Structures are given as C-alpha cells and as structure tokens.
Amino acid sequence: MLTILVGGFYGDEGKGKVASYLALKDSPKLALRTGSVNAGHTVTYMGKIWKLRIVPSSFVNPKVELGLAPGALTPLDILFKELKETESENRFCLDPHVGIITEEEIREEKSDEHLMRTVGSTGQGVGHAESKRVLRKLKLAKDYEELKKYLASIPDKVINYIERGYDILVEGTQGHYLSLYHGEYPYVTSRNTTASGILSEVGVGPKYVDEIIIVFKSYVTRVGEGPLEGELSEESAQKLGLVEYATVTGRKRRVAPFNIALAKEAIKINSATQVAITRLDTLFKAAYKVRDYSKLPPEAKKWVEDLEAQLKVPITLLGTGEDALDMIDLRKEKLGRG
C-alpha cells in the first residue's frame, strides 16, 4: 500500500508528527521524503526533539528504510548532518536524480531581491537550484562520489516493494496553497506541493496510490507574504495561545482560524481519502495528550464531528500533543483498519 501525506493549508500543518506516528504505528517498509530544505518537519518522541529539513520523519522507527525521491533537492551538509543526528545512515538511500544545492545557489537566492523581499523566500537556494534543474545546469546526486554508496532507483524500489506487498509512506512538504501551480502566485514555493506533485517527484504512477492523507492544523498559519483570510492580530493570536515560529527561518507565523472553504478546496484537488487534524489540544486544552476519543472533552468532539460533516471525508487522526504518539487513531473505527 502506498500512502501520501500532503499539507492542506500553507505548510506547518504537522506532517512531521503524522509521519512519525504512522512510522511507529504501521511500520512501513520504506518512507520517502519529497521537496527540499526550505520546509522543516518537527518530530518529538520520548522527550527528544528533531527539527528535520530533508531526512524523512519516519526515522523514529529503526525498522523503516528511508529514501529521498528523485524530485527532491538537498545540500550535502544538511543531508549528512541529519543522517548523523537521526542515526539512519545505514538504512538510507537516495535516487541518482536528486538535485544537489551548492553554496552558489544559496548566494544567488539571497541576493535575489524579488524572491527575498517580495515573495518571502527562506533563502535556502531552493528556487535557484530548481530553475537550474529546468535549465539542465544543476548537478545531481549521481555526480557526487560521496553519495555513490547511497544511490538507488527510488521508482524501481517503490514498485518492487508494492508488488511484494509492503507498505510505502511518502511525506510531502509545505502545503497545498504554497503550490507553484495551485497556490496564490507569486507567494508560493518553487514546486507543486499537491498530492499529484508529490507523486511526480517520487516517479511512479497514480495506480499505485491507495491513500492520500491530507493534514490540517486546527487553525491556519502562514510564514512570509501573501494573503491570509481572517488573519488575527498579534494580540489576538497571543491571547488564544496560537503563537508559533517557523522551523527553518524562525520567523513568527501569521495566524487565522480554521478555514472550511480552503480545506474543502484542498481536499478536492488532492483527492484526499483521509483527514488528519493536528494541534487539537491548542484549541481545547483539556484534550492535551488524550489518546482515546471517548476521553476527549465534549466541545472538542463536537468540533471534530461538525468539521467532518462539512468536509465529507473521514477524520481519522487527531494530534493532541507534541509527542509522536500523542494521537487519537480512528482508522479502525472509520475504515476498518489501522
């Protein structure tokens, strides 16, 4: 079975938490990361916190093989640093077509006034590296001697594992409304961050996909420029306990209430089969670290049930705390599995 995790808003939805939970709970054979280092995923498990930018969040399960899909981009230093931090070097592979970001692309991006000031780029060199890939000027993983021992065809590995009955988890980055093609251009990232874009970065066709889990936070956040409907003032966000900072840049995230219209559109375009909601405990403090649906406070249950009725897609996962296992898993009740 192949499952795709996709962000439903502007990134920062908690995909790292959901990916780490699914790795521990389902133990897939292989977990893949797409995207690049301009998107950070935070993983908390057994009192330890990792802020990852390229290694899959599923590393928390030592039985899971990890990989970078051909559409991904990474600098070598961040990749090697995270492999060491996660102690996952011996179960990691990357496709020969993974793009390698160098200091040159980072310098070019940081001096690009349009990207840095108007669009709000993270300055990681991703946009310039992606443009060089299109122009056929970018070096790939297969061009680096130090990566030779990690190289493997990700599409071949994925198809081989699926045909042998193994589970694959694909961790997308950022969110639907940051997609180069479907977001609010030009305030978008340099790739297609929807489920179809994630799948194209993996390099296999849609017939292999079984589940698309779209991840929403219980409220909306956005880093950088661009529209944000219903944006709260800093004072209001502070009062509600909704102040957050971006994993990669440290910039304060802009905040708005959960947006039903945006969620419905993202579900439709991504063909989502399940919904995961994170940070339920931020809206409902009594939900903190609850792992049994029956023990949720009544107002939290009502919020979830009303939301599911409007979205018309089963809400199967509810994040209630920072630890990977602080999750209410309703897949068995709603889907007959999990």
pLDDT value at position 115?
81
Q: Which helix (H) or strand (E) holds 81?
A: helix 76-85
Going by C-alpha positions, the residue among 291, 226, 293 that lies closest to residue 11 is 226
Average pLDDT of the residues in 149-170: 98
Average pLDDT of the residues in 227-254: 82
Average pLDDT of the residues in 236-262: 83
- Cα separation, 171 vs 17, in Å, equals 11
Average pLDDT of the residues in 193-199: 97
Average pLDDT of the residues in 29-36: 96
Catalytic one among 26, 41, 128, 326? 41
Q: Confidence band (pLDDT; 50, 70, 90) for 248?
A: low
Catalytic one among 12, 26, 167, 323? 12
Average pLDDT of the residues in 168-181: 96
Percent helix, strand and coil across the chain, each rounded to 5? 40, 20, 40
Return the structure tokens found at 109.
């991006």
Cβ distance 75 to 37 under 8 Å?
A: yes
The answer to whether 12 is a known catalytic residue is yes
Question: pTM of the full predicted structure?
Answer: 0.94
Is 249 a residue whose pLDDT tops 70?
no
pLDDT value at position 31?
98
pLDDT value at position 125?
86
Strands (E), the chain: 2-7, 30-33, 41-45, 48-52, 65-68, 73-75, 92-94, 99-101, 168-171, 209-217, 219-222, 254-257, 274-278, 315-319, 327-329
Looking at per-residue pLDDT, the higher value among 225 and 323 belongs to: 323
pLDDT value at position 262?
98
List the CATH code of the domain at 2-335: 3.40.440.10
pLDDT value at position 247?
65
Cβ distance 92 to 54 under 8 Å?
A: no
Q: Confidence band (pLDDT; 50, 70, 90) for 225?
A: confident
Average pLDDT of the residues in 148-166: 98
The mean of the pLDDT values for the chain is 94
Going by C-alpha positions, the residue among 108, 189, 104 that lies closest to residue 139 is 104
Determine the residue type at 98: V
Is 287 a residue whose pLDDT tops 90?
yes
- Cα separation, 250 vs 253, in Å, equals 9
pLDDT value at position 168?
98
pLDDT digits (tens, 9 = 90+) for 104-131: 998 888 888 778 777 777 788 898 999 9
% of the chain surpassing 70 pLDDT: 98
For the chain, what are the domain ranges? 2-335
The answer to whether 167 is a known catalytic residue is no
pLDDT value at position 224?
81
pLDDT digits (tens, 9 = 90+) for 293-305: 999 999 999 999 9
3-state secondary structure at position 50: strand
Close Cβ partners of 140 (under 8 Å, ≥ 6 residues apart): 96, 97, 98, 99, 100
3-state secondary structure at position 112: coil
